[in-house]
Amino acid sequence: MNAIILSASLGVLMMFCSFLVKNKNTFRHIASVGLLVLLIANIADTYGYTMFSINTYGMLSFNRFGMLFNSIAIASTLIYVLLTGREIEKTGSYVAEYFTLIFFVLCGIALLSSYSNLLTLFLGIEIMSIPLYILTGSDKRNMKSNEAALKYFLMGAFSTGLMLMGIALTYGGTGTFNLEAAPRTFLYIYKGVASFLEILGLLFLLVSMAFKVSAAPFHFWTPDVYDGAPSVFTSFMATVVKAAGFIAFIKLCAVRMHETGGAVDWNMIFAILIVSTLLVGNITAVFQQSVKRMLAYSSIAQAGFMLLALISLNDIAYEGILLYSAAYSLATIGIFAVLVKMKDYTFEGYNGLSKTQPALAAANTIFLLSLSGIPLTAGFFAKYYMLAAVVKTGSYLWLVIVAVLFAAVSVYYYFRLIQSMYFKEGTPETEEITPSFKYGIIALAAVIIILGIFPSLITYWLYF
């Protein structure tokens, strides 16, 4: 509860700052402090120190899993603001508003991690998405940014429509908006068979959620939007926001789809989604010339891996999705932080970076190794948990083998960037790189390695 209310009020506070505080450079410091407060409040909430006791009439339910995800999301955002705050300032002239929108997105995320009613799911998705449409178009003199924002908005509106339709149909089928404890007698022909309306509604919901996490074949908006949006905001969208989509999705699956599992083989639908997502993401990423676009497709490919949790849905999968969110978000935030410092976004633009900026190149290498799932980085254990969860179910072993083969494909495009930085000659042009940025990015790389050796540093908090 703390996270929802505080993030919304901090957003409002930032809005007031935009005309109360004259010095533009202070905004990001205020935002950082705000995020820190938010993080502490959320952790306090996890251990029962809630500041607000509000009766939500079963619309929200808080558990350790959602709280821990909130902490991961807020911490990632804090790191993101610390590393790329300067770049956010450079995007346009409404600096405080950008931070405001980021706080609102966090509010949506906090709703998504705790919804227990389809209406709060809808609210969360919308509160999270609408600020993103604005952030995408924040570079308003750039045609590509405008195009991306419009595309994102139209596609997003369409998926919202589907989602509402789905919610309405499931309501028709079950007679309740509640996620759990749907009265299974209402409109049921006989026990064990879900009604047609509910199944159709769930299918609609599945499509709209697949759209939000950019699973193929609902991914078409992703490359254009990620490419067109200002790089700093792409970083945010591709990491924290995407992970939040998964948290919402996994909850929906665990309850509603699990209950109707007798009527529809959801796992097979997920398997098809996973294979097509891995295929589209990995194969298309291989052919990209721009690092930013490659990262867009890589985010689709990584989504394919995260979707594996929907099939397994066991304790390993829950631990795994948290670890994956953290590992993937941190690594991608790091890569984007380096990316926004580059003048040329193509692979050639990175040629020879290890000579001019050895620290940046080394940290970037660690991020890329993490994304490809090499041991000693957080990414390895993230992938490991996902695979282990599916193997534990005892079926779908073929899916695991397909997934690891695509993980091997992903090495191709991640290592291409390493090759550019280390083994090719060139003089890459970068923006001015401050020592504090350098130390920040090295610290982030260190965190990824520590998580890669002791993954229980995150999963531990799920139980204590």
**Which residue ranges make up the site for other proteins (CB under 8 A)?**
319, 369, 374-376, 380-381, 384, 387-388, 391-392, 394, 397, 400-401, 404-405, 407-408, 411-412, 415, 419, 422-424, 454-456, 459-460
**CA atoms lying within 13 Å on the CB side of residue 134:** 16
In the bound complex, what is the minimum distance in angstroms from residue 426's beta carbon to other proteins? 14
CB of 47 to other proteins, least distance (A): 20
392 near 312, Cβ under 8 Å?
A: yes
The residue (of 188 and 422) whose beta carbon lies closer to other proteins is 422
Q: How far is the CB of 321 from other proteins (least distance, A)?
A: 15
Distance CA 411, CA 36 (A): 35
Nearer to other proteins, 262 or 358 (CB): 358
DSSP tag of 103? H
Q: Report how far residue 278's alpha carbon sits from residue 272's, in angstroms, rounded to the nearest whole number.
A: 10
- All residues at 6 or more sequence positions from 56 whose CB lies less than 8 Å from its CB, including other chains: none
Structure tokens at 315: 């304790």
Give me the amino acid identity at 207.
V
- Return the number of the residue (394 or 435) whose C-beta is nearest other proteins: 394
Residue 187 gets the label, from left (phi > 0), alpha (psi -120 to 50) or beta, of: left
CB of 391 to other proteins, least distance (A): 4
- Residue 238 or residue 418: which is nearer to other proteins going by CB? 418
Closer by beta carbon to other proteins, 21 or else 443: 443
Q: Which is nearer to other proteins, 220 or 415 (CB)?
A: 415
Q: Nearer Cβ to other proteins, position 52 or 460?
A: 460
Q: Which is nearer to other proteins, 223 or 428 (CB)?
A: 428
Give the nearer residue to other proteins in terms of CB position, either 54 or 397.
397
Q: How many CB atoms lie within 10 A of CB 422?
A: 17
Cα–Cα–Cα angle for 336, 339, 342, rounded to 5 degrees: 160
Minimum CB separation of residue 25 from other proteins in Å reads: 35
- Quick one: which H or E segment has residue 459? helix 456-459
99-138 CB burial, b ≥16 within 10 A, e <16: bbbbbbbbbbbbbbbbbbbbebbbbbbbbbbbbbbbbbbb
Rounded least distance, CB 106 to other proteins, Å = 29
Whether 303 and 237 have beta carbons less than 8 Å apart is answered as no
- Which residue blocks in 313-377 are alpha helix, DSSP H? 315-339, 353-356, 358-372
Q: Could you tell me the smallest distance in angstroms from the CB atom of residue 304 to other proteins?
A: 15
Identify the residue whose tokens are 């996620």: 179
Residue 48 or 394 having the CB closest to other proteins: 394
Whether residue 265 contacts residue 202, with contact meaning beta carbons closer than 8 Å, is answered with no
| Shortest CB 245 distance to other proteins, Å | 26
For other proteins, give the closer residue by CB, 167 or 369. 369
Task: State CA 443 to chain mean position distance.
Answer: 21
Tokens found for residue 383: 């992938």
CB of 318 to other proteins, least distance (A): 12
Least CB distance to other proteins at residue 417 (A):
13
Q: Determine the Cα angle at 399 with ends 393 and 403, to 5°.
A: 120
3-class DSSP state of 109: helix
Q: 3-state SS string over 7-66? A: HHHHHHHHHHHHHHCCCHHHHHHHHHHHHHHHHHHHHHHHCCCCCCCCCCCCCECCCHHH
